[in-house]
Amino acid sequence: MRRVLVLALLALVLPLAAWADTITFTNQFGSINISNTGISSIGSQLLTWGTASAAPGHSLGTLSFTTGALATGTLRYGGTFAGGTTTAADGTSFDVMGIGKWAKNLTGSKTSPVALFTGWFVGPIDWTLTSAPGKKNLTYVLSGDIYGELWNGRFVKGVTTQNIYTVNGQLTQGIGHIRMGSSTVTVPEPGTLGLLGTGLVGIAGIFRRKRIGT
């Protein structure tokens, strides 16, 4: 009975240990191109990265992304865009560049800009209308899972939510801006995994000794 309980606890702890730390970052403004072939963002300003915050009127860097083509629904009323998988970007992207001394200090790089996160969308990307369809300025939420690599070579997974508004509701011209975006990536923690592995070895040894002693 005790063995079953220990194994059950380990099964609960393993996912938490494998993905322990998180990095949250926000972005704003930039330009959005919207069409049936996909949504792309260029020049969105990176406002925060973890505990670092940009001074008023400044930015920490830039954020850009590209989705796949419209998969379901419509541009005006909402639907989904295509995303990739954890092994293939399938034409999507999600990249964060750090600019300035803070980014060089964080990454140890001697040059700027620095690629803080290089990744892409995974799975379907939701495109949700959040304003009345007849309003002059339409607003949407673009949200989905992201996957990629940090500057230090560690692969991470996470989610992003981008609040988007269009200029005079002109989706046919494909013009919009990001009112506010927020993303969080979860970082695997090798130290925790090492401790977990040591614990598993120790428990296995205890079970083995008990079995030999019986």
Q: Encode pLDDT of 81-98 as tens digits.
A: 999 999 999 999 999 999
- What is the β-pairing status of strands 70-74 and 114-129? unpaired
Same domain, 106 and 164: yes
User: 62, 43 in Cβ contact below 8 A?
Assistant: yes
**What percent of the chain stands above pLDDT 70?**
75
Same domain, 177 and 71: yes
Number of domains observed in the structure of the chain: 2
Confidence band, pLDDT 50/70/90 cuts, at residue 2: low
Confidence band, pLDDT 50/70/90 cuts, at residue 31: confident
* pLDDT value of residue 10: 44
Q: Rounded to an integer, what distance in angstroms lies between the CA atom of residue 204 and that of residue 88?
A: 38
* Domain coverage including residue 11: 1-19+190-214
Q: H or E stretch including 163?
A: strand 155-166
Same domain, 46 and 116: yes
* pLDDT value of residue 45: 97
Same domain, 150 and 202: no
Same domain, 214 and 134: no
Instruction: Please list the alpha-helical segments (H only) found in the chain.
Output: 2-18, 101-107, 190-213
When pLDDT is averaged across residues 19-34 and rounded to a whole number, the result is: 88
Same domain, 6 and 60: no
User: Is pTM beyond 0.85 here?
Assistant: no
Same domain, 14 and 102: no
- Measured CA to CA in angstroms, residue 211 lies from 6, 7, 104, 206, 208 at distances of 16, 16, 55, 9, 5
Same domain, 121 and 198: no
Query: Which is more confident, 204 or 86?
Result: 86
